[in-house]
Structure 1
Amino acid sequence: MVRIATYASHSALQILKGAKDEGFETVAFGKSRVKLLYTKYFPVADYFLEDTYPENDLLRLDAVVIPTGSFVAHLGVELVEKMKVPYFGNKKVLRWESDRNLERKWLEKAKLRLPRVYDDPDDIDGPVIVKPHGAKGGRGYFLAKNPEDFWEKAGRFLGIKDKEDLKNVQIQEYVIGIPVYPHYFYSRIKGELELMSIDRRYESNVDAIGRIPAREQLDLDIDITYTVIGNIPIVLRESLLIDVLEAGERTVKAAEELMGGLWGPFCLEGVFTPEMEFVVFEISARIVAGTNPFIHGSPYTWLKYNEPMSTGRRIAREIKMAIENDELEKVVT
């Protein structure tokens, strides 16, 4: 009997609830401190394994692991690539997602509108946002307005002292617009792209600064940070939906050519400018925490399904269809 398993963090509640709705037994694994969250307060886990990655127990339980940002961040790409437990999705995508240079190559191939990237901090001639490689929930991001500002903050926030240390960060043009994070699901069984939901992030302390009058902001001399605290649902202007869907289709097509495919959930993270142009600054090639407000579904899933359909449940349904069609090997690696 196949069971659905995931690391006890990030979007595990949604994943496990969706799996149970589709008739699967469920497994959570992680720190013992959070066990009651998944077994008592929200009883979505039939099994809880107190370990970061209990491979032998997961193999014994015939589990399929659903990756999340927390799982990849805690284990690291190298360990995830070597894991023996079946993994929902294409592991080859991890390298392209975690390295911002490869990620840009992917998004350029998809012909998405991207912000300018500065290879040399001394060329900065306008506002930029500096991002370390990998999924860190916005931690370590900072804004800079010129080369002097960059070097001062890079040393203070990231310990960067010279250009030799720049290989682990990307310096992006800061594009003014409304942050928008569309959540997609590509079905390898059906060969279809679905728009599941859309959110924006609630970030500390950048979203808190707006509650402080401008004069006091200047007096306080606050350094802006972008650590994600939560997520806010968005219903996008309907005329913009085709732009979002076409961007998703091109991303899937480019992935097929570059690394053998992208299937399951993913998110294009970007902004809509005042000219209503969708500018994409990165991709999360897995379920994102922004899907968590939609455990009972979103306006977009209700347009397609006549039942509650979260991204977590859609993952479980894909695995269920694969098992019924004797095609599980098509969706796990």
Structure 2
Amino acid sequence: MPTSPTIATVSSHSALQIMKGAKDEGFNTLLICDKKREKFYKRFNLVDEFLLVDEFKDILDEKIQKQLNDKNCVLIPHGSFVEYIGGRETMRVNVPMFGNKKVLEWEADRRKSYEWFKKAGIKVPHSFLKPDEIDRLTLVKLFGAKGGRGYSLVKSSEEFKEKVGHFDSEKMQLQEYILGTRFYPHFFYSPLTGENELTGIDLRYESNADGLPRMPADFYMAPTYVVTGNFPITMRESLLPDVFEIADKLTETSKKLFPPGLTGPYSLEMVCNDKLELYVFEISARIVAGTNVGIPGSPYSYLKYGKEMSMGRRIAMEIKKAISENRLDDVVS
């Protein structure tokens, strides 16, 4: 690949941030764009070239991949890759992709994620194997990056049957609901430096769960957890060493499970109880939409770099550094 690749992604999720970060670091940009969204993305003047498709899965087409390779593209995966293309299907994409694309399969399958967590020795909520085992408040979660859509909260097998019905172990996880405050720290692991960097923290704004407290006391509706936005947030500083320890354990364990392991951006989804214990309930093993609150930067990225540094720009900076050190193969797969 020539020394100046084109940074590419699909038109959703964190595409604006990725395009802006690439432009800030001097790269050309290409957006694989749903035809209906072209007008929107043109408003920001961040895209040098649009590759129009009918649907995101068109990226699996060999003709599309040839066009991307002819333009020397490096693909930046985000949540829409996991949800609309699929973790396993992404493995078929024969275009250089930032990070280790093997990790997307471990993210998409919650059973594999839990195997990873347990081998890393970190605290996780209990996961029930079947509805009959449910004996406490439990969140029914669907596999994949669905932004909270389709989740249900139940406290017994009877309530599961009433709210959900059929249990499919290939598509659902029954996860103990830990009461506490939620945090979604964003990390970047650099294989060039061997360092984990905290680049920000967010909290999700969910419908209708975050709207229900505004209703009268005698009103009841079952909560849903569809992510509609994100808030920036900071964390009690005395908890941050524990957060870094968890991140370090996960990245080191990943090197054994799927070499060369987790690289580039990722986010831990965790809850802190009133004993100040941290439980990890999920991982997003690529850039998350919550990093959009960190444009142009966050308090933590400023502490690290002393300048504006979004996750999108951090990705582009890593690619630029890898090229200068003739190590691009270490940051793409």
The two structures have a TM-score, normalised by structure 1, of 0.94
Tell me the residue number matched to 1:43: 45
Moved over 6 A (4+): none
Map residues 163-242 of structure 1 onto 2, 5 A cutoff: 163=167, 165-217=168-220, 222-242=221-241
Q: Secondary structure at the match of 1:315?
A: helix
Between the aligned partners of 2:113 and 2:16, the Cα distance in structure 1 is 28
Indicate if the aligned counterparts of 1:37 and 1:43 stay in contact, CA closer than 8 A: no
> For each residue in 1:106-141, what CA deviation from the matched residue of structure 2 results, as whole angstroms up to 9, or x when unmatched?
011111110011112112111100001111111111
Indicate yes or no: 2:282 matched with 1:282.
Answer: yes
* Stretch deviating more after TM superposition (208-217 or 307-316): 208-217
- Residue 223 of structure 1: how far off its partner (Å): 2.2
Map residues 52-67 of structure 1 onto 2, 5 A cutoff: 52=56, 53=59, 54-67=64-77
Indicate yes or no: 2:28 matched with 1:29.
Answer: no
Between the aligned partners of 2:82 and 2:111, the Cα distance in structure 1 is 19
Q: Secondary structure at the match of 2:303?
A: helix
Aligned-residue RMSD, C-alpha: 1.1
Between the aligned partners of 1:148 and 1:284, the Cα distance in structure 2 is 31
Tell me the residue number matched to 2:309: 309
> For each residue in 1:68-126, what CA deviation from the matched residue of structure 2 results, as whole angstroms up to 9, or x when unmatched?
00122111223310111101111211221111111001011111110011112112111
Between the aligned partners of 2:104 and 2:81, the Cα distance in structure 1 is 12
- Residue 18 of structure 1: how far off its partner (Å): 0.4
Tell me the residue number matched to 2:133: 123
Between the aligned partners of 1:133 and 1:77, the Cα distance in structure 2 is 11
Between the aligned partners of 1:177 and 1:88, the Cα distance in structure 2 is 34
Structure 2 gap ranges (5+): none
> For each residue in 1:274-324, what CA deviation from the matched residue of structure 2 results, as whole angstroms up to 9, or x when unmatched?
111111101000000000011111000111112200000000000001111
Between the aligned partners of 2:304 and 2:258, the Cα distance in structure 1 is 29
Q: Secondary structure at the match of 2:268?
A: strand
Tell me the residue number matched to 2:91: 81
Between the aligned partners of 1:143 and 1:35, the Cα distance in structure 2 is 38
Identity between Structure 1 and Structure 2 (%): 49
Letter of the 2:225 counterpart? Y
Letter of the 2:104 counterpart? L
> For each residue in 1:227-258, what CA deviation from the matched residue of structure 2 results, as whole angstroms up to 9, or x when unmatched?
10000000111111111111111110110111
> For each residue in 1:15-66, what CA deviation from the matched residue of structure 2 results, as whole angstroms up to 9, or x when unmatched?
1100000000001112112112222x21111111111323222111100000
Indicate yes or no: 2:304 matched with 1:294.
Answer: no
> For each residue in 1:175-196, what CA deviation from the matched residue of structure 2 results, as whole angstroms up to 9, or x when unmatched?
0011100000000111111000
Tell me the residue number matched to 2:273: 273
Indicate if the aligned counterparts of 1:97 and 1:103 stay in contact, CA closer than 8 A: yes
Tell me the residue number matched to 1:99: 109
Q: Secondary structure at the match of 2:74?
A: strand
* Aligned residue pairs, count: 321
Between the aligned partners of 1:315 and 1:117, the Cα distance in structure 2 is 33
Q: Secondary structure at the match of 2:169?
A: helix
Between the aligned partners of 2:71 and 2:151, the Cα distance in structure 1 is 39
Tell me the residue number matched to 1:20: 23
Q: Secondary structure at the match of 2:145?
A: coil
* Stretch deviating more after TM superposition (88-97 or 308-317): 88-97
Between the aligned partners of 1:76 and 1:100, the Cα distance in structure 2 is 13
Between the aligned partners of 1:152 and 1:105, the Cα distance in structure 2 is 30
Q: Secondary structure at the match of 1:148?
A: helix
The two structures have a TM-score, normalised by structure 2, of 0.94
Q: Secondary structure at the match of 1:30?
A: strand
Letter of the 2:209 counterpart? V
